[in-house]
């Protein structure tokens, strides 16, 4: 064994260099941010929401029924609790015969208001669609080529296209909502042929995380190797048809 071999072995056996004090402090600092930032921001946003609801609802409670009238301090979440209980009671009342009767009267009144009737009907239809237990709106994430071939975006199925839009298209199309980053509450409504939609195995929550983070948070691919190969083959087949 020559001197070169000895020197090489010595280098390989040497322990990795230790991190300096500043590097370790920096690593601890970043770890602290990763732990406390999501927790702090979540608590802060929840507190802002509770405070906002309390400021609007609590003053509406009659003085003698308001617990804060008998305490020297405010009760956080009181307004939110009253709001939840109130919505439950309203839902229980409207589920009966008299509730449906008054609902029909209110709908009839709104039908005669020129400007507000369009807003009222649109909001009512959207909420009924989204909140319905059997609704498929926003319950499946897909991939679609948008705004042109070769560029892919995450979208959410909001329903099957019907009416005039479906009648004048040659193929069966699906309603898709394409959210923007980092604010997914805004976006675009597009109508895409059903065959051009690539369905994702990730759930809506993981897809939203990816959209909000701008791709920084990427959920792992939990599909089997066979499913991954089939999906890749479908994508290549679609791209080949587009080039022809």
pLDDT tens per residue across span 133-159: 555 677 889 999 998 888 999 999 988
Place of tokens 């059997």: 134
Q: Is residue 94 part of a domain?
A: no
Q: Is residue 90 part of a domain?
A: no
Note the pTM of the prediction, 2 decimals.
0.57
Q: Is residue 179 part of a domain?
A: yes
Q: Is residue 52 part of a domain?
A: yes
How many domains in the chain? 2
Q: How many Cβ atoms are within 10 Å of 115's Cβ, its own excluded?
A: 7
Q: Which domain holds residue 66?
A: 48-76
Listed residues 61, 76, 91: the one ending a domain: 76
Q: Is residue 169 part of a domain?
A: yes
Listed residues 59, 76, 93: the one ending a domain: 76
The span from the CA of 14 to the CA of 7, in Å, is: 11
Helix (H) or strand (E) holding 78: helix 78-94
pLDDT bracket for residue 8 (50, 70, 90): very low
Q: Is residue 30 part of a domain?
A: no
Q: Given a cut of 80, is residue 80 above it in pLDDT?
A: yes
148, 65: one domain: no
Q: Is residue 151 part of a domain?
A: yes
9-66 residue pLDDT tens: 554 555 555 567 888 888 888 888 888 888 898 899 899 999 999 998 888 888 888 8
Listed residues 76, 95, 118: the one ending a domain: 76
Q: Is residue 124 part of a domain?
A: no
């Amino acid at each position: 064994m020559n001197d070169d071999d000895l020197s090489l072995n010595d280098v390989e056996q040497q322990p990795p260099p230790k991190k300096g004090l500043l590097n370790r402090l920096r690593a601890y600092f970043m770890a602290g941010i990763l732990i406390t930032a999501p927790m702090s921001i979540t608590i802060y946003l929840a507190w802002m929401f509770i405070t906002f609801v309390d400021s609007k609802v609590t003053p509406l409670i009659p003085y003698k029924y308001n617990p804060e009238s008998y305490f020297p301090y405010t009760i956080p979440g009181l307004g939110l609790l009253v709001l939840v209980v109130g919505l439950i009671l309203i839902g229980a009342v409207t589920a009966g015969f008299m509730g449906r009767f008054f609902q029909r009267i209110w709908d009839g009144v709104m039908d005669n208001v020129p400007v507000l009737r369009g807003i009222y009907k649109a909001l009512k239809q959207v909420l009924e669609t989204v909140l319905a237990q059997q609704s498929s709106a926003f319950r499946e994430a897909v991939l679609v080529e948008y705004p042109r071939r070769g560029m892919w975006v995450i979208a959410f199925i909001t329903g099957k296209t019907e009416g005039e839009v479906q009648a004048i298209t040659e193929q069966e199309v699906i309603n898709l909502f394409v959210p923007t980053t980092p604010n997914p509450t805004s976006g675009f409504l597009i109508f895409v042929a059903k065959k051009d939609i690539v369905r994702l195995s990730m759930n809506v929550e993981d897809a939203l995380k990816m959209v909000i983070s701008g791709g920084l948070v990427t959920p792992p691919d939990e599909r089997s190797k066979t499913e991954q190969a089939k999906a890749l083959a479908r994508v290549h087949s679609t791209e080949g048809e587009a080039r022809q």
